[in-house]
Structure 1
Amino acid sequence: MAEPFYITTAISYPNGKPHIGHAYEAIAADVIARFQRAQGRDVRFQTGTDEHGLKMAQGARNKGIEPRAFADEMSPLFQEMCDTLNVSYDRFIRTSEADHYRASQAIWKAMAERGDLYLDRYEGWYSVRDEAYYEAEELTDAEDGSKLSPQGTPVEWTVEESWFFRLSKYQQPLLDLYAANPDFIQPESRRNEVVRFVEGGLKDLSISRTSFDWGVPVPGSDNHVMYVWLDALTNYITGLGYPDETELWKRYWPANVHLIGKDVVRFHAVYWPAFLMSADIALPKTVYGHGFLLARGGEKMSKSVGNVVDPIELAERFGVDALRYFLLREVTFGQDGSYSAEAIVNRVNSELANSFGNLAQRTLSMIFKNLDGVIPAAGHADEDRALLDVVEQACNKLTDEFHGFAFSAGLEAWMNAVFACNAYVDTAAPWALRKTDPARMTDVLGTLVVAIRQLAVAVAPIVPASADKLLTLIDSGQGGQPIAQPQPIFPRLELPEEEAA
């Protein structure tokens, strides 16, 4: 039976429309899921929305509707984004669903039975925007004299009765975890940040609120709702049937990777493993904190700042596969990167349209025109075998790099093979061979089809729809059947006038 592989994204907070940062994470997770399926793994892929907490309650109040109605209005926008971007999730989870309430209350009870929860009074700094608590030494002063979190978000002094989790008890177990499992937090820069944070000392964590009621009720404390992050993190096990011993649970837990933004690494690499240790649940294998996709001026995209980019609009403008390719080719995964319309157009035209797309189009068009659409076998000359060796090595390199989430490096190797194919075409000049040596022309075109097919299979996790079209056309020529007239797979993009200006 195929080896299981479970990947999750951080679930999105639907207090505003999805932006390109949400799309970036969903696409990256989808590429990993598709890549692992192509390696023969049995993949489970989950994404969704995190619908509780003070931000959602305030957003609903601002619109004059109930929080659940607000969540019902906003959450489908995130599912639509995933569907538009060809994200192949197995479950789109919503934390307002009944099975999630049940799972969240079950992990709460397991932590309580361990003796890790106690009732006390919380006094401290809280950021509504981050839904996070901060120590005074983590704060900075704003120009108006107010306090800001490490993320630059406003904080307010909060006082209320709260249930606490004995996070301090897990300081050494967490440090032992990081030491024994160096790959638990990736990339290394994120790991180093977390280790330093935990070494600095952990205080017990407030995990309930009484100042609003939009959340999962705390078992036995009806006036308390769970801290949104405890409920949100539990989604990863809700989706596999926790607390029941379902087939999904037995097959897919622990998760292979939680793919998240670098700003929520603390929640996933400190709080989440501590909760799981307390509840006696196996820990995920890897938490990977990717970088931010920044606006053109280098600013982090933010709903509150108003510089967010609509990913559906971008997909309509440039094409879904073009956008997917750009995001994972342009930015070294794990680091911050930036987006602009000009960068998308230049990258896609140079590499997909002019290089790979043109290679496939002219090769298959020559076969359609000169060989009655019948795809020939590859040649056996030294240069033919040399090209296919280059392509195979590049595709193996891509595979190795994708295993480590180094998408840009993998695509760099892939592009080098595409360039080698184009150099082979220029040298062989099959259009000239048509008159001087038709048999050699046939060998050259046959060799190119083998190379193009292998390149299409390799890049399919990135550009699934386009690769599928190309592979369907090539595979329709099996057994001597003629292929249909080829159509360009990657049309050239034009820079919108306002962007060009």
Structure 2
Amino acid sequence: MSEPFYITTAISYPNGRPHIGHAYEAIAADAIARFQRAMGRDVRFQTGTDEHGLKMAQAARTRDITPRELADEMSGYFKVMDDALNISYDRFIRTSEADHYAASQAIWRALEANGDLYLDRYEGWYSVRDEAFYDEKELIEGDGGVKLSPQGTPVEWTAEESWFFKLSKYQEPLLALYRDQPDFIRPESRRNEIVSFVSGGLSDLSMSRTSFDWGVPVPGSPGHVMYVWVDALTNYITGLGYPDLDGLFARYWPANVHIIGKDIVRFHTVYWPAFLMSAGIALPKQVFGHGFLLNRGEKMSKSVGNVVDPVGMAEAYGVDQLRYFLMREVSFGQDGSYSHEAIVNRSNSELANSFGNLAQRTLSMIFKNLDGELPALDRNDDDAALVRTVAGAVLDELPRAFEQFAFSVGIEAWMRAVFACNQYVDAQAPWALRKSDPERMKTVLGVLFCAIRDLAIAIQPIIPASAGKLLDQMGITTDERDFKALEDTFWYDRLRASGFRVSQPVPLFPRLELEVAG
């Protein structure tokens, strides 16, 4: 069996409909999952919704429905988004599911058995919007002297009986973790922030609430529900069958990476590893905190009116065009910006004009001039130079970058190979060779066919549907589309011998117009 690879997104908080930031995280995680599958790994990919907490209870009350009804409705929108964006998850988890209640109560009992939980009274600042507690020293001053969380969200003074977790006990073990495993938190800027935070001292963490009941009940403590982040983080092991330590858990845990937004790095790199240490469970190998996606440089906000529906965007531009833009345009880990013009221009120039047109022209010429038949190859130095360029991109540069989640770097290398193919077309001019040297034309078209096949296989994690359609048109079977297939030097001979013929090709990427959307 191939080496397992377990990847998760953060589970989305469904007190509102999904926005493009949710889509961005899902697409990035999907690209990683698809890439690892193409590299031959046994991949498990989990996403879902985080449905408990005061914020959900308040949102439901505002609409005069139950929290469960709100969760059912809103979670459905997130699943629709994932399916519309071709997200290849293995499980879409909901924290309101029965197996998640069982897993959350099991890890609670493990913390308790380790002596790390105690009952006391909580008095302090709480942000409903963040579902987070903050020390006085962390608060910032807003307009009129109003206290705000470090995220700029409102806080309120809360006083109630609560179970506490001995987080302070784990300060030194956490600092040792960051020191001994520097890649546990990526990128480095996030790691530095967390090391600084933990070095400043940790307070014990309030772990339960009594002021509302929409959450996982604390075992043996009537009236208490778990702090939403306790059960939210546990989803990563719920989805592997915890507390059953055999089966999926034994196969896939610890997770290779949690892909999350930079605003929730603390929960995943302080609370989560501390819970796992207490429960005697292995820690995930890495937490990657990506940046925010900004609308024309501005953070998305309902009050500003710049929140965009990702399903609507996918319908306007095309699913693969949107996926390509987000992974191409933004350096993963940093904040990035998008606009209608940027998406249209990037899609038209690179997908439609450069790659799509290359494939369309090549396959059309084979169909028209060679009756669809793949030619024998009599390569010269020009052909060999192009083969080396494409091989360098698809076998070395792109996989090396994707392994580090540097999608924009890998796609840049891929585009250089696409440009090299187009320069080769212009230099060889197969339309002129048709009259002056038909045998040479055959080789040129055959070399291009091989290059396009390699480029299509390599870019599948980013534009899976379009690359798949192209490979279908080229007669490449689904079991010969991984990175190992790129090292197969005999595939072309086998395809020729099979009698495959190129049919009239279908264009992959229609040109987008700047008037498509607002």
Q: What TM-score, normalized to structure 2?
A: 0.95
Question: d(CA) in 1 for partners of 2:250 and 2:141?
Answer: 49
Question: Which SS does the other structure have where 2:143 is aligned?
Answer: coil
Question: Which SS does the other structure have where 2:334 is aligned?
Answer: coil
Aligned match of 2:511: 492
In structure 2, give the amino acid aligned to 1:489.
Answer: L
Q: Do the aligned residues in 1 keep the contact of 2:147 with 2:154 (CA within 8 Å)?
A: yes
Question: Which SS does the other structure have where 1:7 is aligned?
Answer: strand
Instruction: Say if 1:21 and 1:430 are closer, same or farther in 2 by CA, change over 3 A.
Output: same
Aligned match of 1:96: 96
Question: Which SS does the other structure have where 1:487 is aligned?
Answer: coil
In structure 2, give the amino acid aligned to 1:27.
Answer: I
C-alpha deviation, 1:441, in angstroms:
0.2
Q: Do the aligned residues in 2 keep the contact of 1:378 with 1:448 (CA within 8 Å)?
A: no
2:500 is aligned with 1:481 = yes
C-alpha deviation, 1:497, in angstroms:
6.4
Aligned match of 1:68: 68
Q: Do the aligned residues in 1 keep the contact of 2:475 with 2:500 (CA within 8 Å)?
A: no
Structure 1 portions without partners, runs of 5+: none
Aligned match of 1:227: 227
Question: d(CA) in 2 for partners of 1:410 and 1:249?
Answer: 32
Aligned match of 1:334: 333
Aligned match of 1:41: 41
In structure 2, give the amino acid aligned to 1:25.
Answer: E
Q: Do the aligned residues in 2 keep the contact of 1:240 with 1:246 (CA within 8 Å)?
A: no
CA deviations on 1:182-204 (whole Å, 9 max, x unpaired) are 11000011111110100010000
C-alpha deviation, 1:481, in angstroms:
2.2
Aligned match of 1:213: 213
Question: d(CA) in 1 for partners of 2:326 and 2:254?
Answer: 29
CA deviations on 1:232-267 (whole Å, 9 max, x unpaired) are 000000000000123101100000000000000000
Structure 1 runs (4+) deviating above 3 angstroms are 302-306
Q: Do the aligned residues in 1 keep the contact of 2:316 with 2:517 (CA within 8 Å)?
A: no
Instruction: Say if 1:305 and 1:212 are closer, same or farther in 2 by CA, change over 3 A.
Output: farther
Question: Which SS does the other structure have where 1:5 is aligned?
Answer: strand
Instruction: Say if 1:304 and 1:272 are closer, same or farther in 2 by CA, change over 3 A.
Output: farther
Q: Do the aligned residues in 2 keep the contact of 1:379 with 1:444 (CA within 8 Å)?
A: no
After the TM superposition, which of the residue ranges 487-496 and 354-363 deviates more from structure 2?
487-496
In structure 2, give the amino acid aligned to 1:341.
Answer: H
CA deviations on 1:52-93 (whole Å, 9 max, x unpaired) are 000100010011011111101110100000000000000000
C-alpha deviation, 1:144, in angstroms:
3.1
Q: Do the aligned residues in 2 keep the contact of 1:378 with 1:450 (CA within 8 Å)?
A: no
C-alpha deviation, 1:302, in angstroms:
3.5
Question: d(CA) in 2 for partners of 1:345 and 1:422?
Answer: 21
CA deviations on 1:346-375 (whole Å, 9 max, x unpaired) are 111111111011100000000011000112
C-alpha deviation, 1:483, in angstroms:
1.8
Question: d(CA) in 2 for partners of 1:496 and 1:305?
Answer: 22
C-alpha deviation, 1:307, in angstroms:
2.6
CA deviations on 1:291-327 (whole Å, 9 max, x unpaired) are 000111x222244654311000000000000000000
Question: d(CA) in 2 for partners of 1:326 and 1:290?
Answer: 16
C-alpha deviation, 1:276, in angstroms:
0.2
Question: d(CA) in 1 for partners of 2:379 and 2:517?
Answer: 51
2:22 is aligned with 1:3 = no
In structure 1, give the amino acid aligned to 2:315.
Answer: E
Question: d(CA) in 2 for partners of 1:131 and 1:269?
Answer: 17
Question: d(CA) in 2 for partners of 1:417 and 1:17?
Answer: 39
In structure 1, give the amino acid aligned to 2:327.
Answer: L
- The total of aligned residue pairs comes to 498
Question: d(CA) in 2 for partners of 1:220 and 1:241?
Answer: 23
Q: Do the aligned residues in 2 keep the contact of 1:116 with 1:165 (CA within 8 Å)?
A: yes
Question: d(CA) in 2 for partners of 1:304 and 1:179?
Answer: 42
In structure 1, give the amino acid aligned to 2:310.
Answer: P
Question: d(CA) in 1 for partners of 2:22 and 2:514?
Answer: 24
Question: d(CA) in 2 for partners of 1:305 and 1:68?
Answer: 29
Question: d(CA) in 2 for partners of 1:387 and 1:165?
Answer: 60
Aligned match of 2:481: none
In structure 2, give the amino acid aligned to 1:384.
Answer: D
C-alpha deviation, 1:442, in angstroms:
0.2
C-alpha deviation, 1:141, in angstroms:
1.5
Question: Which SS does the other structure have where 2:153 is aligned?
Answer: coil
Question: d(CA) in 2 for partners of 1:143 and 1:203?
Answer: 28
Aligned match of 2:489: none
Q: Do the aligned residues in 2 keep the contact of 1:162 with 1:208 (CA within 8 Å)?
A: yes
Instruction: Say if 1:153 and 1:111 are closer, same or farther in 2 by CA, change over 3 A.
Output: same
Question: d(CA) in 1 for partners of 2:318 and 2:463?
Answer: 10
Pairing of 1:363-382 with structure 2 (within 5 A): 363-382=362-381
After the TM superposition, which of the residue ranges 76-85 and 369-378 deviates more from structure 2?
369-378
Structure 2 portions without partners, runs of 5+: 477-494
Question: d(CA) in 2 for partners of 1:443 and 1:89?
Answer: 41
After the TM superposition, which of the residue ranges 146-155 and 410-419 deviates more from structure 2?
146-155
Aligned match of 1:189: 189
After the TM superposition, which of the residue ranges 239-248 and 456-465 deviates more from structure 2?
239-248
Question: Which SS does the other structure have where 2:474 is aligned?
Answer: helix
Question: d(CA) in 1 for partners of 2:113 and 2:81?
Answer: 40
Instruction: Say if 1:18 and 1:498 are closer, same or farther in 2 by CA, change over 3 A.
Output: closer
Question: d(CA) in 1 for partners of 2:124 and 2:57?
Answer: 21
Question: Which SS does the other structure have where 1:223 is aligned?
Answer: coil
In structure 2, give the amino acid aligned to 1:120.
Answer: D
Question: d(CA) in 1 for partners of 2:22 and 2:180?
Answer: 32
In structure 2, give the amino acid aligned to 1:393.
Answer: G
Question: Which SS does the other structure have where 1:480 is aligned?
Answer: coil
Pairing of 1:64-463 with structure 2 (within 5 A): 64-296=64-296, 298-303=297-302, 306-395=305-394, 396-463=396-463
Question: d(CA) in 1 for partners of 2:139 and 2:275?
Answer: 26
Instruction: Say if 1:340 and 1:378 are closer, same or farther in 2 by CA, change over 3 A.
Output: farther
After the TM superposition, which of the residue ranges 38-47 and 137-146 deviates more from structure 2?
137-146
Q: Do the aligned residues in 1 keep the contact of 2:372 with 2:501 (CA within 8 Å)?
A: yes
Question: Which SS does the other structure have where 1:23 is aligned?
Answer: helix
CA RMSD, Structure 1 to Structure 2 (Å): 1.1
Q: Do the aligned residues in 2 keep the contact of 1:377 with 1:447 (CA within 8 Å)?
A: no
Q: Do the aligned residues in 1 keep the contact of 2:340 with 2:517 (CA within 8 Å)?
A: no
Q: Do the aligned residues in 1 keep the contact of 2:316 with 2:516 (CA within 8 Å)?
A: no
CA deviations on 1:160-216 (whole Å, 9 max, x unpaired) are 111000000000000000111011000011111110100010000001000100000
In structure 2, give the amino acid aligned to 1:160.
Answer: E
